Amino acid sequence: MRLLDKVPAARLMKDAAHYTKITTKAAWKTLGLILSVASWLFSALTGILWITKAAFRLIRRRPEKATEKSS
């Protein structure tokens, strides 16, 4: 005798619906976490790029000002 022969169909459908509900909720939470981390990383990388760009602009302008003063 197989195991599924002992389980009523209504009980099996109820368990399948419950399992689907749990896995769907977990999938949405995981997706939300992934999007939250991606948003944080995007903000951090944008900030790093902005600081790097500003630093390179300052470094590039500094020698020009020094040559103008000595002229």
What does the pLDDT read at residue 7?
Answer: 78
What does the pLDDT read at residue 14?
Answer: 93
Q: Which two tokens stand for residue 60?
A: 């590039």
| End-to-end Cα distance, the chain | 100
Cβ atoms of 4 and 12 within 8 Å: the answer is: yes
State how far the Cα of 13 lies from the Cα of 18, in Å rounded to an integer.
9
* Weakly modelled stretches of the chain, pLDDT under 50: none
What does the pLDDT read at residue 54?
Answer: 92
What does the pLDDT read at residue 67?
Answer: 57
What does the pLDDT read at residue 61?
Answer: 79
Residue 1's Cβ-side half-sphere holds a number of Cα atoms within 13 Å equal to 4
